[in-house]
A and B are shown apart, each in its own frame.
Chain A
Amino acid sequence: MNMIQAINSAMDVMMARDPGVIVMGEDVGYFGGVFRATAGLQAKYGKTRVFDTPITEIGIIGVSIGMGAYGLRPVPEIQFADYIYPALDQLVSEAARLRYRSDGEFTAPITVRSPFGGGIFGGQTHSQSPEGIFTHVSGLKTVIPSTPYDAKGLLIAAIEDNDPTIFFEPKRIYNGPFNGNWDAPAANWSKHPAGEVPTGYYKIPLGKAAVVRSGEAVTMLAYGTMVHVCLQVVADTGIDAEIIDLRTLVPLDIEAIEESVKKTGRCLIVHEATRTGGFGAELSALVQERCFYHLEAPVERVTGFDTPYPHSLEWAYFPGPVRIGMALKKILKD
């Protein structure tokens, strides 16, 4: 399966298991979503469980919260993560705090799916990585898969979770892993072990990172598309890096990070989102606080730039193998 099919399969499995699971969003019904992630679900589960919505993100999230408060498990789709901003108040002030402010009388067990990230010539409005906004909010969980297998297992866990979850799907690797070079097509997941996805139910717990490559020289912390770019850099340079796919940013698997950095003594953080105030800053601070006496070089960050995502120059913006390779060389210099 590719990642879209895996995500579709996760919703299929959960809709079959739980009549409270509702899928809604712009174009998700009859058409099956602009990325086809919800294809076939309406035909299978009916129009009252899988339906199109008006183009109002505040409405989509606000309505989902109400449905969640009723006792359903809505899985709303925001067509592109760039369009999540109109819904920000409902997510930040409402979904995130509902449990806290009502002492658990009301909860918002919603899973907001949204394709995110660049590398598809999407310009400023189809390329952003807004995860840092959500990791900053108390009460939200943020999940970002990097493989079809993980995507399905994590999405099932998110739907079953009783807290509101932001589930960002790295659309650049929807169809296959990607090496980070602008002129390279995405590979095909069918030839990749992580493309082997069981059709039935399984889940990957939120808050558990994956060590996707063991190594001794440096720890690379990444998620989503960047996991694959990091793997490419390691293949190209032969550096014996340990690559950790964080999978969920909140809750974060701090043990996996600590264990790895204490072993390697060096840490490179890679994400596509803009740099200032990004999640990489949080990771860098955590590593510094917890592993300082084990560090042999300053913690480095490779990120997107602090500009809007440019259209024609997107590959200059994208943190590709060259930028990551330069940072690795700098870290390993001493």
Chain B
Amino acid sequence: MADAARSNLPPLALHVPEPKYRPGDTVDFSDVEVPPAGSARRPDTAEDARNFTDLVYTMVRVLDDENRAVGPWDPKLSPDTLRRMLRHMATVRAFDERMFRAQRQGKTSFYMKSMGEEAVAVPQAYALDADDMCFPSYRQQGLLIARGCPMVDMMNQIYSNRGDKLQGKQLPIMYSEKRFGFFSISGNLATQYPQAVGWAMASASRGDTRIAATWCGEGSTAEGDFHSALTFATVYRAPVIFNVVNNQWAISSFSGFAGAEATTFAARAVGYGIAGLRVDGNDALAVYAATLWAAERARTNAGPTLIEHFTYRAEGHSTSDDPTQYRSAGEPTAWPLGDPIRRLKDHLITLGEWSEERQAAMDKDVADEVKAAQKEAEKNGILGHGLLQSLDTLFDGVFEEMPWHLREQRAQMLAEETESGRPWDRKK
């Protein structure tokens, strides 16, 4: 406590951030600054990072209010590419919808949707080369979908079933897909950030041409790993793209608890001398263009880029979360940047390359595809029907070769299982 001699000083006050709206509040997002599409300049990818710090405080936007692509960031993609991108985004949403329901039906333990954020991962997969290495967080399944990972394989993982190549060792959605350049997902936040930098540094040190990209949420920019990664990346000019998916919510904590009241997340790049871009994360074309720009920068040894994707998590954090308990139900629909799938669809319609009928047909098509994949995956079993892994796989992969103490523990476990009178399958 302050002593009496200093009592004429004004008392200090602790600021604790508070989101603007709580359950029951009427939402008004009119104070969210959304600059006009096309207004952000596009520097040369070789430009010194210090010359465009203005871009970390504005927002790269391509799609305008009339659904036209405007400005210097317009990537001028062909209608075919746009349609494929749209389909992949719709697939992610349909996939999420089914797997969410599967969890509610008790078919698996856990799921995380990326509803409202489909324009982050999917267009980025298009902007990166297929063999660039991705170090994702848990809401970038769009990378896998867009890179052609069979949905059955993804569902097998979610169901921890006999077809799960991870043998049920990982929480659902914690995929590992080396063949699609998709690093094993960790539940510990932002740990993938320095790992991506290491991969990128290794690629550079070997004279490779591949680059790395990594993703985290705005909440986990508070982790030490984030800052260590940026330090390493700037020091060694690592060919890496840092993506901060600012979806406004880290479980129930709004972005203010990661520092959003004071500055933007793209501005984190400035202090490190890293190129930073702030992008309309619900604008597939802007996300694509920014990623392509950052990839070119990385690939030409011009260094790393940090992209803040300004978006909104329209659903709960996971199946274990109930967002109605901490935020206004009106937020997702009031979000000023709109729905990313609808915006891309409307853009294609504006171009005369798409129609509501074709969209409806595609949505049905995609839903059927997802449904068929689910049926296929469920042939391998579901987590809700008990444990499907061969028991002795539990000890595989702790080390390359199994040491004595694990062999002993495995033998003990198998003996215990025999003793139980309800033995599981043994490994073939």
Contact = CB atoms under 8 A, between A and B. Distances in A.
Most buried by B among A61, A90, A101, A141: A101
Most buried by A among B184, B228, B231: B228
A67 B199 contact: yes
Contacts of B228: 54, 56, 58-59, 62
Interface stretch (B77-85, B292-300, B392-400): B392-400
Contact of B169 (A56, A65, A101, A141): A101
Interface string A131-145: 000000011010000
Contacts of A207: 403
Contacts, number: 147
Interface stretch (B61-69, B101-109, B170-178, B347-355): B170-178
B400 A251 contact: no
B149 to A, nearest CB: 13
A163 interface: yes
B232 A94 contact: no
A63 B398 contact: no
A139 B231 CA distance: 28
A207 to B, nearest CB: 7
Most buried by A among B133, B227, B404: B404
A98 B178 CA distance: 13
Interface string A37-63: 000000000001100011010110111
A90 B224 CA distance: 11
Contacts of B188: 89, 93-94
Contact of B166 (A61, A93, A101, A254): A101
Contacts of A138: 398
B202 interface: yes
A161 B198 CA distance: 19
B205 interface: yes
Nearest to A139: B398
Contact of A63 (B198, B224, B399): B198
A70 B178 contact: no
A22 interface: yes
Nearest to B236: A51
Nearest to B179: A105
A62 B184 contact: no
A65 to B, nearest CB: 5
B229 A99 contact: no
B169 A103 contact: yes
Interface residues of B, number: 46
Nearest to A71: B202
A54 B235 contact: yes
Interface string B217-257: 00000001101110110010000000000000000000000
Interface string A99-129: 1111111110000000000000000000000
A18 B196 CA distance: 23
B169 A100 contact: yes
Contacts of A103: 165-167, 169, 176, 396-397
A215 interface: no
A62 B197 contact: yes
B202 A102 contact: no
B198 A64 contact: yes
Nearest to A89: B188
A250 interface: yes
B242 to A, nearest CB: 13
Contacts of A94: 186, 188, 191, 195
A99 B231 contact: no
B232 A69 contact: no
A86 interface: yes
A1 to B, nearest CB: 29
Contact of B232 (A63, A70, A163, A252): A63
A310 interface: no
Contacts of B186: 93-94, 101
A101 B184 contact: yes
A167 to B, nearest CB: 16
Interface of A: 22, 48-49, 53-54, 56, 58-59, 61-72, 74, 86, 89-90, 93-94, 98-107, 138-139, 141, 161-163, 207, 250-252, 254
16 contacts: A22-B202, A59-B225, A62-B225, A62-B228, A63-B195, A67-B202, A74-B198, A89-B225, A90-B191, A100-B169, A101-B176, A102-B178, A103-B165, A106-B176, A138-B398, A251-B404
Interface of B: 133, 135, 165-167, 169-170, 174, 176-178, 183-184, 186, 188, 191, 193-203, 205-206, 212, 224-225, 227-229, 231-232, 235, 396-400, 403-405
Given A63-B197, A66-B201, A67-B201, 19 more contacts: A54-B228, A54-B232, A56-B224, A56-B232, A58-B228, A62-B197, A63-B229, A63-B232, A66-B196, A66-B202, A70-B133, A94-B188, A101-B170, A102-B184, A103-B165, A103-B176, A105-B176, A106-B183, A141-B399
